[in-house]
Amino acid sequence: MSEKQVKPGWKSIPIGGVCWKSSEEYSTGDWRSNRPILDSDKCTNCLICYIYCPDSCISWDGEKITINYDYCKGCGICATECPVTAIEMVKE
């Protein structure tokens, strides 16, 4: 996950609570309290985690899966659904 940035104060944000940047820049991953850790030796590339991830944070490049910690909120569905227990939830 990206480094914590100093957030702007009330004088430097636009009025009305309008979205002034893309949601891509809003790292919802900092809500997470438990981080999924993948053991690639155990992983069979079955892609069940890829299908189940509600935040589309697991991607598949044709060879291996990766987890995007910028947006993963640590729900743990991937770890629960993994049939070979290749994903472990670790406290942040």
DSSP H helices in 1-92: 48-52, 77-81
Count Cα neighbours of 59 within 13 Å in the Cβ-side half-sphere.
Answer: 7
Residues 17-76 close enough to bind other proteins by CB under 8 A = 17-22
CB of 1 to other proteins, least distance (A): 15
Beta bridge pairs of residue 65:
60
Give me the phi and psi of 68, to 5 degrees please. -90, 105
Using the contact rule CB under 8 A, the part of the chain among 9-17, 36-44, 70-78, 79-87 near other proteins is 9-17
CB of 69 to other proteins, least distance (A): 18
Q: Does 6 bind other proteins (CB under 8 A)?
A: no
Contact residues toward other proteins (CB under 8 A) are 7-10, 13-22
